[in-house]
């Protein structure tokens, strides 16, 4: 049975019901998978050109995952080859003093894509109901109100012409252990390793509970969540590439008509 990625609004999410190893019967990153990824990327490239030319709408891709979940790798492999004029990646780390002086969505709204652009969030406003909750950085009554505030914010973006694709890259704790160990074993990957990663790993169950609530409460008609099996990097890349392609296809951007009548133009 195929494992659906879409979280239907109103669904109570339990991540134990999803298999992070799922790969739709595909066994490896073979020629078929490579060709499907390449075809999806070509479609994305074509749609991006027309989206940029239209200057009417935008696509926002939200990537969330546990540490080592593959956000950077997904961006690298799926968005490769796109016109950099029309793509913007924003990463959300620990808030700065200036950002903390504003409401929690202030820094996020400033990074949303303009019309004609594809925006990619590497982490996002959901950190304010995830890490903030797990580490008890604000009172419970504060972060609980944020689910509705996030839904209203996303609805505003959608009504203003921004389509939102939210992807949770789901890995298992065993897979995270292997990826952390691989970083530790490779001196060239040490820059990606932080001692805090070990402490965060101890809070796995707390993060899972926080993610389940976010996926449940913030998968809406305007901006639903998708749970992507991500233990196999190649399958993650395939699913994400095809989801981005499908979102752009649904937007159906068109090459705009020329501003002037060009039928009589002769270049000598």
Full DSSP string of the chain = -----EE-TTPPP-GGGS-TT--TT--SS-HHHHHHHHHHHHHHHHHHHHHHHH-S-EEEEEEEESTTSSHHHHHHHHSTT--GGGEEEEE--SPPHHHHTS-TTHHHHTTSPPTT-EEEEES-GGGGGTHHHHTT-S-HHHHHHHHHHHHHHHHHHHHTTEEEEEEEEE--HHHHHHHHHHHHH-GGGGGG--HHHHHHHTTHHHHHHHHHHHHHHS--SSS-EEEEE-SSHHHHHHHHHHHHHHHHHHH---PPPPSS--TT----
> How many structural domains are present in the chain?
1
Per-residue pLDDT at 134: 98
Per-residue pLDDT at 54: 93
227 lies in some domain: yes
Cα–Cα distances (Å) from 3 to 17, 63, 225, 264, in that order, read 10, 19, 14, 55
51 lies in some domain: yes
Residue 102 CA to chain centroid, in angstroms? 24
Per-residue pLDDT at 1: 36
What does the chain come to in residues?
A: 268
Q: What is the CATH number of the domain that holds 245?
A: 3.40.50.300
- Is this structure's pTM higher than 0.85? yes
Per-residue pLDDT at 28: 80
202 lies in some domain: yes
195 lies in some domain: yes
In which domain, by residue range, is 16 found? 6-251
Give every residue of the chain whose pLDDT is below 70, as ranges: 1-3
101 lies in some domain: yes
Mean pLDDT of the chain: 94
166 lies in some domain: yes
Per-residue pLDDT at 3: 66
261 lies in some domain: no
50 lies in some domain: yes
């Amino acid at each position: 049975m195929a494992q659906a990625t879409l979280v239907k609004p109103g669904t109570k999410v339990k991540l134990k019901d999803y298999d992070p190893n799922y790969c739709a019967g595909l066994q490896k990153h073979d020629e078929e998978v490579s060709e499907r990824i390449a075809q999806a990327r070509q479609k994305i490239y074509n749609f991006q050109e027309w989206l940029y030319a239209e200057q009417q709408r935008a696509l926002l891709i939200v990537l969330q995952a546990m540490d080592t979940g593959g956000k950077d790798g997904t961006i690298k492999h799926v968005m490769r080859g796109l016109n950099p004029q029309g793509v913007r990646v924003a990463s959300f780390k620990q808030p700065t003093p200036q950002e903390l002086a504003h409401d929690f969505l202030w820094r996020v709204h400033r990074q949303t894509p303009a019309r004609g652009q594809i925006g990619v969030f590497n982490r996002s406003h959901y950190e304010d109901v995830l890490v903030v909750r797990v580490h008890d950085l604000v009172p419970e009554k504060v972060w609980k109100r944020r689910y509705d505030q996030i839904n209203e914010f996303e609805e505003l973006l959608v009504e203003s012409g921004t389509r939102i694709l939210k992807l949770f890259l789901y890995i298992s704790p065993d897979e995270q252990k292997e990826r952390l160990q691989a970083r530790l074993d490779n001196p060239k990957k040490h820059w990606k390793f932080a001692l805090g990663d070990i402490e965060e790993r101890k809070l796995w169950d707390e993060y899972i509970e926080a993610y389940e609530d976010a996926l449940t409460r913030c998968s809406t008609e305007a901006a639903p969540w998708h749970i992507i099996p991500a233990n196999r990097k190649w399958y993650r890349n395939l699913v994400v590439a095809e989801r981005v392609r499908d979102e752009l296809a649904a937007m159906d951007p068109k090459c705009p008509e020329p501003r002037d009548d060009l039928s009589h133009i002769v270049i000598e």
